[in-house]
A = this chain, B = another copy of it.
Amino acid sequence: MTEATDRRRERRARQANAAGAARMRPISYDLPVYELLRPEGVQRVHDMSMRILGELGIDFYDEEARQILKDHGADVRGETVFFDEQLILKYAGMAPRQFTQLARNPQNNVTIGGNQIVFAPVYGCPFVQDLDRGRREATLADFQNFVKLAYMSPYIHHSGGTVVEPTDEPVATRHLDMLLSHISYSDKAFMGSVTAGKNAADSVAMAEIVFGADAIREHPALLSLINVSSPRRFDDRMLSCIKVYARARQAMIITPFILAGAMGPTSIAGTVAQLNAEALAGIALCQMISPGTPVIYGSFLSTIDLQSGAPTFGTPESQVALYISAQMARHYGLPFRGGGTFSSSKLPDAQAGYESIMVMIPTIMARTNFVLHAAGWLENGLVSGYEKFVLDCEILGMLHTWAKGVDLSDEAFAFDAFQEVPPGGHFLGTGHTMRHFRDAFYRAELFDYNSAEQWELNGAPDSYARANAKVKQLLASYEQPALDQGTAQALREFVARRKAAIALEPHDF
């Protein structure tokens, strides 16, 4: 495919965006992948992980999970489970190298693994932030707004999960509102709940309503985020979700969340070895429960400020760790999740811009298959920023262009243009430019390329102010994607029934 065809496709996607139904396919990354470690380095990380798994073990706070691990050959002593290398490699090797997650619009199905890079929004923020109202607790209305923004962005391929925490809804039923919002306000793929095993079961039930019980067992319709309680610990909540999702053959991301210095040692090599051990242990359990269950090797690794203990994001150490953990996932033939537009900043200022790209470029160049937090992240993940979200989307657009690399066709070498233009001339009027000017270069919408004079006349808006206007324009022009009436009705009934039932249960959290 030529650059120009590609660009025309992109332009059409942008035009579609204006009408509220945009899409760009996930990135097919065919450029060279950046391998920071040499093979000996990969081996050293692997070896240390095997020592951790074999000599120190991982705690699993669920009796049934421990029994499963024991039945499959692990050495269980109390709550701690020890794995030998052969056992880990046998079960990690059962996971598929790539899989397809269903979206309710089949055009938005995503392949995860291989050379594919899928972008999903920020996840888990209890707060939102914007220029008009500052920082505040997130609500279900905010949740739906971020689902809409992700739906409208041509560069976000996935609707994500807890895009913000809807703190105005009861904790016990919140997962139902979130799932219903993803399904109603977007037609992209989405994530399941991990707040309790029964909430995971609700997620599976809702996916069955939308896609059918057989269909989701052939290709997963849910992708759920299993966090390891690092160091070396899977809690009962996550294990109950693993059991539900593995038995329903729904996809999971097994992600150790490690801030080096706090939940991991004060060094990158040690922390990555720990992450590798924890991820592989969780992945092995999934495969023991249901061989071939789609899983992603997750890496969420940053640092703390060793003077204050505060988390720090967008640091050079996290950039190094990202490359290495991606290499480890490839070493085991597993799809990889990592990176995002991380920042410690409280608002979308220069710090946020610097830090976000400091992580996002390695994210791409490590060929990360699933990028959670690809847009919106602020303040160490406590905050989903409206303006930050659309600014990050601009960057995702640029990274789509970056990932195309360079066209080396005769047409791209443009010898006819050189023949036309004398020394000191310009290329604006050449036949080559005429053939390509519409689609030649990525054109940012939010970045200002005006002269200083024009920019002053426009009111000298910084990128925060311009993004604010863009958010308002997007939300005002949002159009809901059609949803089959029967499905919509069945989902509403399911949610109502479950809410009524949950209201009668003793609340355990």
Q: Which residues does A use to contact B, with CB under 8 Å?
A: 3, 31-32, 34-37, 41, 44, 48, 51-52, 56, 58-59, 80, 135, 229, 231-233, 260-270, 273-274, 303-312, 314-317, 319-320, 324, 344-358, 361-362, 365, 379, 382-383, 388, 391, 394-395, 398-399, 401-402, 405-409, 411-415, 417-419, 421, 423-428, 430, 432-433, 436-438, 440-444, 446-452, 455, 460, 462-464, 467
From A36, A262, A444, A467, name the one whose CB has the most chain B CB atoms within 10 angstroms: A444
Q: Do A52 and B353 touch (CB < 8 A)?
A: no
Closest partner residue, chain B, to A41 (CB atom): B408
Among the listed B265, B347, B361, which residue makes an inter-chain contact with A417, where contact means beta carbons less than 8 Å apart?
A: B265
Q: Do B346 and A315 touch (CB < 8 A)?
A: no
Q: Do B263 and A426 touch (CB < 8 A)?
A: yes
Q: Do A80 and B423 touch (CB < 8 A)?
A: yes
Assembled-state Cα–Cα distance A455/B308 (Å) = 14
Given known contacts A56-B419, A407-B267, A421-B231, is B358 in contact with A433 (CB within 8 Å)?
Answer: no
Q: Do B345 and A436 touch (CB < 8 A)?
A: no
Assembled-state Cα–Cα distance A419/B57 (Å) = 11
The 9 closest A-B pairs by CB, nearest first: A353-B353, A270-B414, A265-B414, A357-B357, A59-B423, A351-B463, A349-B462, A350-B353, A316-B402
Note all chain B residues with C-beta closer than 8 A to A449.
Answer: 305, 308, 310-312, 344
What's the minimum C-beta distance from A446 to chain B, rounded to whole angstroms? 7
Assembled-state Cα–Cα distance A394/B421 (Å) = 43
Q: Do B427 and A365 touch (CB < 8 A)?
A: no
Assembled-state Cα–Cα distance A442/B317 (Å) = 8
Closest partner residue, chain B, to A233 (CB atom): B423
Closest partner residue, chain B, to A430 (CB atom): B265
11 A-B residue pairs with CB within 8 Å: A34-B34, A231-B424, A306-B437, A306-B443, A347-B462, A350-B391, A351-B446, A352-B353, A353-B354, A354-B447, A382-B452
Assembled-state Cα–Cα distance A265/B432 (Å) = 7
Among the listed B266, B320, B430, which residue makes an inter-chain contact with A433, where contact means beta carbons less than 8 Å apart?
A: B266
What's the minimum C-beta distance from A300 to chain B, rounded to whole angstroms? 17
Q: Do B448 and A351 touch (CB < 8 A)?
A: yes
Given known contacts A305-B443, A316-B398, A347-B462, is B261 in contact with A428 (CB within 8 Å)?
Answer: yes
Among the listed B317, B355, B399, B440, which residue makes an inter-chain contact with A266, where contact means beta carbons less than 8 Å apart?
A: B440
Note all chain B residues with C-beta closer than 8 A to A443.
Answer: 305-307
Given known contacts A354-B391, A428-B309, is B349 in contact with A349 (CB within 8 Å)?
Answer: yes
Note all chain B residues with C-beta closer than 8 A to A264.
Answer: 427
Q: Do A427 and B351 touch (CB < 8 A)?
A: no
Q: Do B48 and A415 touch (CB < 8 A)?
A: yes
Assembled-state Cα–Cα distance A388/B349 (Å) = 12
